[in-house]
Amino acid sequence: MAIRFVLPEQESESVAFAYSPVVEAVLSLHVLVAPRHHPLQHAWVRRMRRLDPKLKAEIKAFRFAYAGHFPDFLFPRADEEFLEFEEELAFLHDLEPDTLAFEFMRPVYDHTGSWPRDRSLLDSDEVRRHVLERCARYGPESEALGRLVFDDPAELGRRFCSLLERYWEEAFEEEWATVEPLLVEAALAARRCFDRRRPLWHVRRRERQA
């Protein structure tokens, strides 16, 4: 089933097509922790059994962050040129502790992502209890990481970046060499299609104004 997004004409200039090595790496981590939902990727899951046991344990511990909804800071920004993996990782390293706390909280507690952030949520015993209960469903290691959302989000971010870096070096960098050309082709094709249609919207808008 196709998914169609309908945008107001005045928002057409805000549309951008991008891809991200970090996003694709995290999507592949999602496959590893939820393989039953991705039968076409079972060959990849079997190949990843060779990963270092400590890395596999860390991937499992962070399941709460990518088993379902992902932290928004992972997605590419429309106002940036394409960034290599190392550049995206440097951006993640520089995130503020509050940003890390709210974004890692989002997959297990829906604070809607609205701005400005409600800082009181990080001090709420009820929210903390909810987050830890949800993380505990993935195991005690995940619950321990959930505590860092409130107690030390900077350390949580550091461990997540370390996980991504190790996973990239041990497994996904080689896969990215195959995936990236396909994403480039898809992004360029989408941009060409969009650019062909956009002038028509401009003409129709001018005709109505006349």
DSSP the chain: --------GGGGGG------HHHHHHHHHHHHH-GGG-GGGHHHHHHGGGS-HHHHHHHHHGGGGTSSSPPGGGSPPTTS----HHHHHHHHHT--HHHHHHHHHTTTS--TT-SS--GGGGG-HHHHHHHHHHHHTT-HHHHHHHHHHHH-HHHHHHHHHHHHHHHIIIIIHHHHHHHHHHHHHHHHHHHHHHHHHHHHHHHHHHHHH-
- Predicted confidence at residue 192, as pLDDT, reads 80
Give yes or no for a contact between 60 and 33, defined as CB atoms under 8 angstroms apart: yes
**Which residue type sits at 42?**
H
Structure confidence at residue 9 (pLDDT): 65
Peptide bond into 116 cis (omega under 30): yes
Q: What is the pLDDT of residue 11?
A: 62
Given this model, what pLDDT does residue 17 score? 77
From first to last of the 210 residues of the chain, give the pLDDT tens digit.
667 777 676 666 667 778 899 999 999 999 999 999 999 999 999 999 999 999 999 999 999 999 988 898 998 876 667 889 999 999 999 999 999 999 999 999 988 777 788 889 999 999 999 999 999 999 999 999 999 999 999 999 999 999 999 999 999 999 999 999 999 888 888 878 777 665 443 433 333 344
Domain ranges of the chain: 18-72+85-176
- Token representation of residue 162: 């370390």
pLDDT the model gives residue 57? 97
Q: Which residues, at least 6 apart from 14, have a Cβ–Cβ distance to it below 8 Å?
A: 7, 78
Task: Give the global pTM.
Answer: 0.84
Alpha carbons 141 and 66: distance in angstroms, whole number? 15
